[in-house]
Amino acid sequence: MKNIPELSCAIVEDLLPTYVERLTSEETNMAVEAHLASCPACAAKRAAMGAKETEAAAKDAEETAREVDYLKKVRHRGRRRIMLAVLATLLVLAAGFAAKVFIIGSPLDADGVAVSSQEEDDTLRVHISSRGSGNAFWDWTVDNQDGVVTITARSVLVSPLFRDGGGTVEVPLEGVTEIWLGRAGWGRMIWQDDVVISADAWALYQSRTPYAGENSLVGRALAAVDTWYGPPIVDYTISLQTSQEPYGLTIHFSDVTAHMSGAGRALDKRMYATAPTLLALIGNLEQVQWTYAAPDGTAVTRSVTLEEVDQALPDWIEARNLAYHQDNSEDGTDWIAPESVKDYAASPAAVQRLMNLTDYGFYVVTVEDGAYFFNPWP
């Protein structure tokens, strides 16, 4: 065992601060501790220094705890502020969305509503109703600019604020040439030149194409005709003849017609009724032809030409006028036959007149013994 050197009180007092902080070597620690064991005065000083160290450590711990607690509070307040900011942003967005769909809304969509109208005492009474149950309308406005009237409204979702899914407006017709639902040129025309324009007539007018050379445009016109008149009983494909005149459209009906009783008669009736409209809508079209399979499997081909329709048109108009006079119709105005069926594509009102003529039917009137006979064309 090493001999432990004896230290004087003065040396121990000098060493105590570093001893207390554990900065002295092991050999020095043994010497100091040996002196403290035999010197009550130095031991008392050591004890006093230990108490101060403990108090300082406690203060440091308390200060550290206060700092940690402060940081926790700062972090908690930061989290709460972030959550409140996020919540406030969500509430603002929700309020804006609710205001948009329930109060502000959007302009009325002319294609999303049903329209009915009635003319009485030089006033057109127009009733508009939503096609769905979830929409309501408000802020109805009727504006007349140089004879062109626009009917507009705001469309919103149904709520306690706005519940009505329709509206009725009255339009004085004096000096009016057109009435639009929505912006003129962007919405839908519903009246023109004393003629109420149906949704089907507007769709047919929109489907016009000047040439028979592009399948997609011709197909659009056919689709509009199918929507108005009703789709044929079988599927079909089309082909176009545009290499030389007469420019033609051929509709090839599915061969399943060979196994369907009465299919040929139904298709002939449909095509004779709609061919004039196709000739009108497709600018340079001169012939509409269709084919189908007869019950015995043989191919049947029929056609209607522009020349045939234009020749028959005055007879159809005469038959219509005569029928209206015989029925004592309130509409006593005689129609005047245009030079060509293509003139019916000049305006929505003209298209509507061709539709009305088609709905009435194409007839040729003959007179026998003073009696009128209405013979179906062709």
Strand order in the sheet with 299-305: 236-241, 248-253, 287-293, 299-305
Confidence label for 95 from pLDDT (cuts 50, 70 and 90): confident
Higher pLDDT, 91 or 44: 91
User: Which tens digit of pLDDT belongs to each residue from 268-315?
Assistant: 999 999 999 999 999 999 999 999 999 988 999 999 999 999 999 999
The lowest-confidence range among 94-103, 122-131, 173-182, 207-216 is 94-103
| Per-residue pLDDT band at 54 (split at 50, 70, 90) | low
Token code pair at residue 378? 């062709």
Q: Is the pLDDT of residue 2 over 70?
A: no
pLDDT band for position 353 (50/70/90)?
Answer: very high
Count of residues in the chain: 378
Convert the pLDDT of each residue in 235-270 to its tens digit. 999 999 999 999 999 999 998 887 888 888 999 999
Evaluate if residue 330 carries a pLDDT over 60.
no
Task: Return the pLDDT at 34.
Answer: 78
**pTM for the model:** 0.72
- Name the pLDDT band for 55 (thresholds 50, 70, 90): low
- Cα dihedral 241, 244, 248, 250 in deg (nearest 10): -30
One-letter amino acid of 368: E
What single-letter DSSP state applies at residue 196?
Answer: E
Max avg pLDDT among 2-6, 38-42, 148-152: 148-152
Share of the chain above pLDDT 90, in %: 44
Which one-letter amino acid corresponds to residue 66? R
Q: What is the pLDDT of residue 345?
A: 96
Average pLDDT on 181-185 reads: 85
pLDDT band at 371 (very low <50, low <70, confident <90, very high): confident
Domain extent listing, the chain: 1-104, 107-196, 197-378
pLDDT for 327 equals 62
What mean pLDDT is predicted for residues 306-332?
83
Give the helix/strand (H/E) hosting 113.
Answer: strand 113-120
